[in-house]
Structure 1
Amino acid sequence: MGGYEVFMHLTVLESVPKSGAQRQRIMNFIRSLREKPDTPGDFLDKDTSLRVRQVKIVGDYAITYWVDAPVKAVMVVDVRLADN
């Protein structure tokens, strides 16, 4: 199921650490979604339109994304510090 594009708004990218191991882990996970878009999150949530989104914990951060299969795209919609 490879060959997907990954999209992330600039404001989401700005919430990723600027450098260091955390940034590397986050960006590696996001890049991995190109080849494995159906990677399950650690839990699910829904947005205001009731779209189901995956939430993956990577290090200290929660990455929220959903797959738009008809256009072969993964939408990364949030990266933030995970709740403890």
Structure 2
Amino acid sequence: MTEQIVPLHQKAYEVYLPLVEDVCSRTVSEDELSHLLDYLLDFACDEKMLRLYKRVCRKYLDVYPSCIRDYIEAYWEMWEDEGELENDL
């Protein structure tokens, strides 16, 4: 199973990296932000994908603080790694 997960995470990273770069290069609506974070959250167990998730959260923390707080809590609930994301933001 691990043999299948690693390539899947790599493919997800390749797909989402340009989307993250685009979203971080401009200011998007909260709906567009939420849409992207929903998809990134599904892969946030992978270190590279978690870095993308954090990058987006950092970029928009001051713009949409309650939305970002909700996504931090969602990360904690889904991946149960409370300290890592909070400490890095």
TM-score normalised by L of structure 1: 0.32
TM-score normalised to structure 2 length: 0.30
Q: Whose RCO is larger (CA < 8 A, sep 6+)?
A: 1
Structure number with higher strand proportion: 1
